[in-house]
Structure 1
Amino acid sequence: MTTYRIGIDVGGTNTDAVILNENYKVIAETKSPTMEDVSEGIYMAMRDVINKANIPLDKIKFAMLGTTHVTNAIVERKKLNRIAVIRIGAPATLAVKPFVGTPLDLKGILGNFVYLVRGGHEFDGREITKIDENHLYRIANEIKGHIDSIAITSVFSPVSNAHELRAREIMNEVLGEDIPVSLSSEIGSVGLLERENATILNASVVKIARTTINGFVNALEKEGIKNARVYLGQNDGTLMSVEYALKYPILTIACGPTNSLRGASYLTGEANSIVVDVGGTTTDVGVLVSSFPRESSLAVEIGGVRTNFRMPDLVSVGLGGGTIIRINEENSFKIGPDSVGYELPQKSLVFGGDTLTATDVVVALGKANLGDPSKVQFLDKEVMSRIYAKMVEMVEMAIDQMKTSAEPVPVILVGGGSILVPDKLEGASKVVKPNNFGVANAIGSAIAQVSGQIDKIFSLDRLGRQKTIEYAKKLALQEAIDAGAEEDTCSIVDLEDIPLSYLPGNATRITVKAAGNLRINMTE
């Protein structure tokens, strides 16, 4: 039986959509401007690609969305939940309070209900002190009716989450099941403050995630797609179910660039290479390792907040199709970093506008043919050539930053703005621009697998190294299955084992990621 899947990815300039058949062949693709109201751009792209595909709508069985809603909410400080922040760790963690280092404007929005509770664990799972349940009951009654969600963080909860689970039980008992509770052990890795920050951000965006998901589902039904299972892209290049996304909306951050990496791998068959994704606003450069994005080993800042949950290792450069070029009287120039973004079709010179953009530069030099080339013939070719050389140098420097050796590596060009980049680059053994390169991000969303990951500290004295690693693998596989992966197709795609010599008990930090294909038959 022929079935189809629709993939949509929201970028800063364009919202891309594709429809694939069961063999992952592209049936239709489209690009629509990303609107100020992001949902409106999604609806337009969906409507257009459905009209182009001309297929029975009841045969569309999967719908995948990569969205910037959550990222925008944090960066713009809009539509965030009223939250309560509970840290379980007194008396051991009183020296540094929650929200240390958080920008004051964000702290002003989120930091009204902050509590420190006795409890927590040591690195090896031993209790620091018993959890103060009476305090938790008092907190629950105090915040009742004043908050939308709760962030709970306990010391070393990636090792033992017993106190976080008990705190959630108490919150649910007093406040009911409708108030979402985010647990740090399910979001971040070891490192109290960064994990706490990630949990706070997760709790703050539950409402916007629910609105986005409901809007996407309603848009599908409005277009007559009523039988599709809905998934959201997450920042490791895999998918998560609606239920999973509602619990962990923070994991949708950076799903756009990772969708592009996964799409680039699928379109070229390259499993290990550098991907250059050129959009309308930025160029994102990432690394494929075994067909998945290489993860960052550093703490990542989101909206000025330092966090430590898994994020792709990316370099972003302020260069895209809509990047504004400024030339002064001496013919020196400045490239970006600002962009006309989704207004490129109105503001760029080749489209009749009055703003010189990177797109105008490549058209003026005859390296691309779009819009009306006669509108840029007056531009000084020598100056345009110098600007273009600098644009190429910006991309080559970003590639160089991502390489782990001086050896040339394969480079894949994707994104609608990749017309800006030549087919030969310094440091590249080859430059590949596949078919459907302009919608690689939407394709990456549509073909993505489902994953699960664990990142915990284990004491090898208990089970020994091999048995501990096997146990960690089982936990990761179960995470993937819980997220919607087909058990028979699940496999371990990444494993890292780091001995922690500064801790007693033969302690080791083990990170395991498992991934598998979407489960076809699932009970509703």
Structure 2
Amino acid sequence: MTLAHETGGIGLLERENATILNAALIRSFARALRARNDMLSRRDSTSQIYVAQNDGTLLSEGEAARRPILTIESTISHAMRGAAHLCGELNAVVAYAQPEAITFGTLIDGYPQESSFPTDIASIRTRNRMPDLITVALPEPLDPARPILSARDRQRCAVAVRRMAGTHHDLPLIAAGRIAEALKQLPDDPAHQLIVVDHAGAVAAVGAAVADVSGSVDRTFDYERRSREESLASTVEAARMAAVRAGADIRHIRVDDIRETPLGYSPGRGARVRVRAVGPVLNPLST
């Protein structure tokens, strides 16, 4: 069973689409998890498994199987975090450069910036949580040993960097991925120092390895029926418990993101409240 209020955000059509998409993914995702577990058991591995989700954090295998939609675009998110971790930056534009396409995103305080607009997934309009990305598709796959961008591709990449930086004019540009060296061909831009990370092809694995576990809650309230203070407190507690269900150590959970948005189209004093709580992976041996 997929619950829309746990999956789809706001907007009736977008919420329905995200809920249906999540339900459609559950069986195939479960098959993939079983195949992976069978492979690990053949290697006598009994380690607890966590799955990357698309805000740059992790969640437990059980929670991922229940809400696989949260894992869409997780590779890009963790590549961004891994690249930033390797060069010690918390705020940056990150270019994840692969032979077929170069994807640009923005890290703010160490996490991928979330898209504020509806997102199309395979031409299906949704509004579930997704990173804000710009992808420059390359006409032909580039050779990782000698990636050469055309003048048009360089221009498109330069525009993408400026758009992702937005009002943050001095963010460095971190290049990662299998053809990270190709970003050296971009026009010189004093506002965005170029950093090509070492081990650029492994940044997604690094990002997942250093990630915390998180739980998020997205709710709407009418402050005329329930006070703002009580509403915020209940949402924070729900996010903490969501992080525990996702596999975080309850002793070290912290709330790192609270977003409160007034709902001008609703009667009364409506507001949308989103809270994320994060914590380190629970080590069963330490409990």
Q: Which amino acid aligns with 2:245?
A: D
Query: Residues 139-161 of structure 1, C-alpha deviation per residue, up to 9 Å, x if partnerless?
Result: xxxxxxxxxxxxxxxxxxxxxxx
- Structure 1 residues 193 and 362: alpha-carbon distance in aligned structure 2, compared to 1, 3 A threshold: closer
Alpha carbons 1:396, 1:427 under 8 Å: kept: no
Residue 430 (1) aligns with residue 227 (2): no
> 2-side partners of 1:258 and 1:270: how far apart?
15
The question of whether the paired residues in 2 share the 8 Å contact of 1:400 and 1:427 is answered with no
CA distance in 2, matches of 1:426, 1:217: 47
Q: CA deviation at 1:227?
A: 1.9
CA RMSD across the alignment: 2.1
Cα distance, 1:362 vs structure 2? 4.2
Residue 59 of structure 2: SS of its match in structure 1?
strand
Q: Say yes or no: does 1:488 pair with 2:226.
A: no
Task: Determine the structure 2 residue equivalent to 1:312.
Answer: 131
Larger Rg belongs to: 1
Question: Structure 1 pair 299/519, CA: closer, same or farther in 2 (3 Å)?
Answer: same
1:407 CA displacement: 2.1
Output the TM-score relative to the length of structure 1. 0.52
Cα deviations across residues 195-231 of structure 1 (Å, max 9, x unaligned)?
1111111111111101111111122222x24221111
User: 1:134-188, CA deviations, whole angstroms, 9 ceiling, x for partnerless residues?
Assistant: xxxxxxxxxxxxxxxxxxxxxxxxxxxxxxxxxxxxxxxxxxxxxxx11111111
Moved more, 195-204 or 403-412: 403-412
Aligned partners of 2:285 and 2:60: how far apart in 1? Answer: 11
CA distance in 1, matches of 2:33, 2:268: 45
- Mapped to 1, the partners of 2:10 and 2:94 lie a distance apart of 30
Q: Output the CA distance in 2 between the equivalents of 1:469 and 1:235.
A: 24
On the 8 A contact 1:473/1:492 being kept in 2, the answer is yes
Q: Match of 1:284?
A: 103
Shift in Å, 1:491: 1.4
User: What is the CA distance between 1:470 and its match in structure 2?
Assistant: 2.3
- Cα distance, 1:454 vs. partner? 1.2
Aligned-partner residue type, residue 448 of structure 1: A
**What's the CA shift for 1:191?**
1.5
Task: Find the counterpart in structure 2 of residue 404 from structure 1.
Answer: 166
TM-score if structure 2 supplies the norm length? Answer: 0.92
Q: Show the counterpart of 1:242.
A: 61
1:261 partnered with 2:80: yes
Where does residue 513 of structure 1 map in the other structure? 276
What is the SS of the residue equivalent to 2:17? helix
User: Larger RCO: Structure 1 or Structure 2 (Cα < 8 Å, ≥ 6 residues apart)?
Assistant: 2
Q: Cα deviation per residue 1:281-340 (whole Å; 9 max; x = unaligned)?
A: 211111111111110011111111111110011111113xxxxxxxxxxxxxxxx0x53x
Q: CA deviation at 1:265?
A: 2.2
- Letter aligned with residue 82 of structure 2: G
Quote the Cα distance in structure 2 between the aligned partners of 1:307 and 1:300: 5
Q: Look up the SS of the partner of 1:453 in the other structure.
A: strand
Q: Given residue 63 of structure 2, which amino acid in structure 1 is its aligned partner?
A: Y
8 Å Cα contact 1:490/1:516 also seen in 2: yes
Residue-by-residue CA offset, 1:97-127 (whole Å, 9 max, x unaligned):
xxxxxxxxxxxxxxxxxxxxxxxxxxxxxxx
Is the 1:232–1:242 Cα contact (8 Å) retained in structure 2?
yes
